[in-house]
Structure 1
Amino acid sequence: MAYLEVEDSRRIYYEHHAGPGRPVVLVHGWGVTGRCWDTVLPALLANGNEVVVIDQRCCGRSDKDFADVSIDALGSDVVRVVEALGLRKPVLNGWSLGGAVVVDAAAKLGANLGGLVLTGGATPRYTSCEDWPYGGSPADLEATLAAIGGNRAEVLKGVAGAVCHTDVGQATVDWMWLMFLEAGPRADESLRDLGRVDQRETIATLDVPVLLLAGRHDTFVPFDAIKTSAGMFPKARLVAFEETGHAPFLEEGEKYRSELLAFLNGLDG
């Protein structure tokens, strides 16, 4: 494990797992930690991939008192880690809010990007607007943030219970809840910023292979939003998970790992 200073004296936590194959950077969703990938990491390592797992600002083992927790800042952190480790053409895999983060990072990496995986990715928009009918309203998001601020433990317990559509077991739900509780209150501002982000112009410029992995029963990022976004990328393929909510890697893990590895092993260079 290691830390990288990214803002004044504030640091983010990351793990760098060696491997001879294509580098993969795993970026978690809002409020949880890099531990959410614990059922994915072993498959990547067995496949020979070099893997980096990041805890975003104010989450998990990273510092909790960052001033800037915007999507732009989180995406820049991914780029900083890639550059610090000298990764060549990595594939970025972002879950939920992490999807917007890796899109931001992908645009900044430019030619040094091997591909993109969006796991229930909250891109190009998380909230609805006049020409984007998907997701809740900005007012809905503010109400959620107010509820979290008023009773953090109970509201986040409810969020953890709503992530999966299938029955993944109480232990898994509790595990996710505990990850949420590790996030500092400043992480809430990342979710607020996500509600302001519009990446429609950005994703149209990402001329790399893109894999979208999405659950039909996702109540956080609507499947129809992800299906629409698939047509905005120059080179994207959508894989639907018929029995899944917001976490296909937990709900249909075998299929998720199979699709992910096939994508990685099919990339050129």
Structure 2
Amino acid sequence: MTENAVSPEFAAATTRAQRVVINGNELAVEVLGPEGAPVILTHHGAPGLGSRAEPRASFGRLADEYRVVVFDARGSGESEGAGVFSHEQWAADLDGLREWAGAETVIMAGGSYGGFIAMEYAIRYPDRVSAVVLRDTSADNGNAHLARENAIASDRVDIDMEKFDRIDEGRVRDNDDLKDCWREILPLYDFVYDPEATERKVQATPYRFEAHNYAFSVNLKNYDLKPRLPGVTAPTLITVGRTDWITPVSCSETIAELIPDSHLVVFEKSGHSPQIEEAEEWTRTVRSFLHRVVPPKAAANP
């Protein structure tokens, strides 16, 4: 398809979730924003824990000018979980969504584990990417030991390290166990710890332990994109919170050093989620970057 040859389903899409079959697996997908605008294709973090809710809230702010596609990845949220949960498969699903949207190129966006997949996509499908937006992510699994050290050193709560290791190594027993382990580490994420807000997040999370276990026990063992990141040709914005415990600033600095046309912004009053904790400034930063590299009317219908 050409840039403007969108499918009828995509053109008619609204914020109401649709069921879209991509690579033989049904995904829950939502589309926000004006027809003909440049497409932002987002990938949420935390496989088996994350969902389209986070990118809908953050990138949805840009839907006044951009066409934003948010979805639950294979094995997460409300989507089916057929096949394997590999980085290659998740990247292929992204390209299937790009094709469904009828976009020759997309702005690829992802935070945390979603950043892993956004970079994977930019490496595997360079001609399909007009820009990349990353948040609080890492180019390899080197952040794992840093995260463990930060968890042990935290003065907020005493972490049960047996639960920490089970969730970190992908050894949770079922959805209830994943929920219990998630509750254990959530106090580490925010710039300001609010126990009530943390518990609300625990209750709102959709739990899919199979995808989580595969991601953390299989995918991350050999995860290392550093040798391939210099081949990313799209302009890239990298954002990170100053006190991010799980993918610290040093991880984003490594990415910025390796991607040639990249820009790093550190948010001083944020933990792992500057898109929430410094929402206005984060949104301004992303919008300004996109205005420069992919102006809103670049793909508009004539």
Normalised to the residue count of structure 1, the TM-score between the two structures is: 0.86
Query: Pick from 70, 73, 80: which aligns with 1:63?
Result: 80
CA RMSD of aligned residues (A): 2.6
Displacement of 1:203: 1.3
The within-5 A match list for 1:144-159 is 144-145=168-169, 148-149=172-173, 151-159=177-185
Write the distance in 2 (CA, Å) between the matches of 1:27 and 1:179.
19
Write the distance in 1 (CA, Å) between the matches of 2:238 and 2:185.
23
Match of 2:30, SS? strand
The within-5 A match list for 1:203-214 is 203-214=229-240
Deviations 1:114-142 (A, max 9, x none): 100111123x102369xxx86559xx866
Which residue of structure 2 aligns with residue 260 of structure 1? 286
Q: Does 1:248 align with 2:267?
A: no
Match of 1:238, SS? strand
Cα separation, partners in 2 of 1:146 and 1:119, compared to 1, 3 Å = closer
Q: Which letter maps to 2:203?
A: L
Which residue of structure 2 aligns with residue 24 of structure 1? 40
Cα separation, partners in 2 of 1:181 and 1:112, compared to 1, 3 Å = closer
Percent of aligned positions with the same letter in both sequences? Answer: 18
The within-5 A match list for 1:128-167 is 144-145=168-169, 148-149=172-173, 151-167=177-193
Match of 1:189, SS? helix
Does the CA-based 8 Å contact 1:22-1:264 persist in structure 2? Answer: no
Query: Pick from 182, 188, 193: which aligns with 2:213?
Result: 188
Which residue of structure 1 aligns with residue 99 of structure 2? 83
Write the distance in 2 (CA, Å) between the matches of 1:141 and 1:211.
32
Deviations 1:217-266 (A, max 9, x none): 11111211211221100101000011111111111111111111111111
Structure with bigger gyration radius: 2
Instruction: Figure out how many residues of one structure are paired with residues of the other and give that number.
Output: 260
Q: Which letter maps to 1:79?
A: D
Match of 2:75, SS? coil
Structure 2 residues not aligned, in runs of 5+: 1-16, 150-163
Match of 1:182, SS? coil
Does the CA-based 8 Å contact 1:24-1:93 persist in structure 2? Answer: yes
Write the distance in 2 (CA, Å) between the matches of 1:78 and 1:201.
22
Q: Does 1:33 align with 2:51?
A: yes
Displacement of 1:87: 1.7
Q: Does 1:229 align with 2:255?
A: yes
Q: Does 1:95 align with 2:111?
A: yes
Deviations 1:146-190 (A, max 9, x none): 66337322211123332212246734x344323544324333212
Cα separation, partners in 2 of 1:195 and 1:239, compared to 1, 3 Å = farther
Write the distance in 2 (CA, Å) between the matches of 1:42 and 1:259.
15
Does the CA-based 8 Å contact 2:39-2:66 persist in structure 1? Answer: yes
Which residue of structure 1 aligns with residue 243 of structure 2? 217
Write the distance in 2 (CA, Å) between the matches of 1:102 and 1:146.
21
Write the distance in 1 (CA, Å) between the matches of 2:204 and 2:27.
16
Displacement of 1:59: 0.9
Deviations 1:42-68 (A, max 9, x none): 42112x11000021121111113x330
Does the CA-based 8 Å contact 1:127-1:136 persist in structure 2? Answer: no
Which residue of structure 2 aligns with residue 52 of structure 1? 69
Cα separation, partners in 2 of 1:92 and 1:49, compared to 1, 3 Å = same
Which residue of structure 1 aligns with residue 121 of structure 2? 105
Cα separation, partners in 2 of 1:141 and 1:203, compared to 1, 3 Å = farther
Which residue of structure 1 aligns with residue 29 of structure 2? 14
